[in-house]
Amino acid sequence: MTPPQTDVLSIETVPVESCDDGTVVALVTINRPNKLNALNSDVTSSIKDMVAWVEQTDTVRCVVVTGAQPLPPPEGKRAKPNAFVAGADITEFLGRGSEEITVMFTDNAIEALWNMSKPSIAMVDGFALGGGLEVACSCDIRIASTRSKFGTPEINLGLIPGYGGTQRLVSLLGYGKALELVMTGEMIGAEEAQRIGLVNHVTEPEELNQRVMTMASLIATKSSNTLRVAKETLRSALDEGLTQGVATEAKAFANLFDTEDKEIGVKAFLNRETAEWKHR
């Protein structure tokens, strides 16, 4: 199936070398570099289409989300800074009231990304602010370059995060740090973001792509069925208490014993072979 490309979002399917069954990583680039990849309605509807395509395309085993690099500036002008995504497009906020915003922010693209059954990695090189940080937090893993900056500046617009940021930041960072970010609107650098658990890894900008694609390719070699169960089960820890969550895990773990991939994985280990998954 051909990926749904638009002017503001491109999708490259990158073959995973160690798999000979057509497995790919989908490299998704939000492409509005002159507006620091800000999320306007074209971008958000493209993200939703991308998620639908990923779900329907078996060979896609992992998704990497990133922002387009700055374009060379016109003569005499300064270059735009590097950005993952510098937030929701603020020009779409002016003059709008709660009714319109409720429509825009209900059943939204960031929720679609969060609910995607396949693994995702945010590759952050530059500003990840507001809705941009919320896109990153809706991915499963975040890897950032040393020049990245993170923050929730909505408070400076008289707003709060609206794409689930208040909730997902609390689960990632804890209440205290999340509240500090939201209330101050201050940006933090990549090292601090890693220290507080906002990003998983930090690399030099020139090593970022390689680092992310290596991890995405590694994940893509696993059983997609087991990955789906792993994601669902870890997610249950966010909504269920410990006792219920442990029961959910026990059930998911036991159910995997009825799958072909568990037999394949265990036999491959015992025979010192590489598992050739059936993904079921």
State the catalytic residues: 134, 154
Considering only residues 14, 19, 90, 268, which one is a binding residue for ligand COA as defined by CB under 6 A? 90
With contacts defined by CB under 6 A, name the span among 78-86, 96-104, 245-253, 256-264 that binds ligand COA.
78-86
Return d(Cα 157, Cα 145) in angstroms, integer: 27
Residue 165 within binding range of ligand COA, rule CB under 6 A: no
Taking the least distance from each CB to ligand COA, the nearer of 34 and 255 is 34
CB 147 within 8 A of CB 205: yes
Residue 91 within binding range of ligand COA, rule CB under 6 A: yes
The closest of 233, 239, 214 to 117, measured between CA atoms, is 233
How is residue 91 written in tokens? 């020009």
Residue 81 within binding range of ligand COA, rule CB under 6 A: yes
With contacts defined by CB under 6 A, name the span among 14-22, 127-135, 246-254, 257-265 that binds ligand COA.
127-135
Return d(Cα 83, Cα 70) in angstroms, integer: 8
Taking the least distance from each CB to ligand COA, the nearer of 15 and 70 is 70
Residue tagged 């997609």 (tokens):
224
Residue 74 within binding range of ligand COA, rule CB under 6 A: no
Number of residues that bind ligand COA (CB under 6 A): 17
| Dihedral angle, C-alpha 136, 138, 142, 145, nearest 10 ° | -10
Residue tagged 């809706």 (tokens):
138
Residue 73 within binding range of ligand COA, rule CB under 6 A: no
| Torsion over CA: 134, 135, 140, 144 (sign) | negative
CB 198 within 8 A of CB 143: no
Radius of gyration of the chain (CA): 20
With contacts defined by CB under 6 A, name the span among 13-21, 33-41, 112-120, 261-269 that binds ligand COA.
33-41
Taking the least distance from each CB to ligand COA, the nearer of 129 and 181 is 129
Residue 86 within binding range of ligand COA, rule CB under 6 A: yes
Residue 131 within binding range of ligand COA, rule CB under 6 A: yes
Q: 228-260 burial, b for 16+ CB within 10 Å, e for fewer?
A: ebbbebeebeeeeeeeebeebbeebeeebeebe
Considering only residues 87, 119, 165, 265, which one is a binding residue for ligand COA as defined by CB under 6 A? 87
Taking the least distance from each CB to ligand COA, the nearer of 123 and 220 is 123
Binding-site ranges for ligand COA (CB under 6 A): 35-36, 38, 80-81, 86-91, 127, 129-131, 153-154
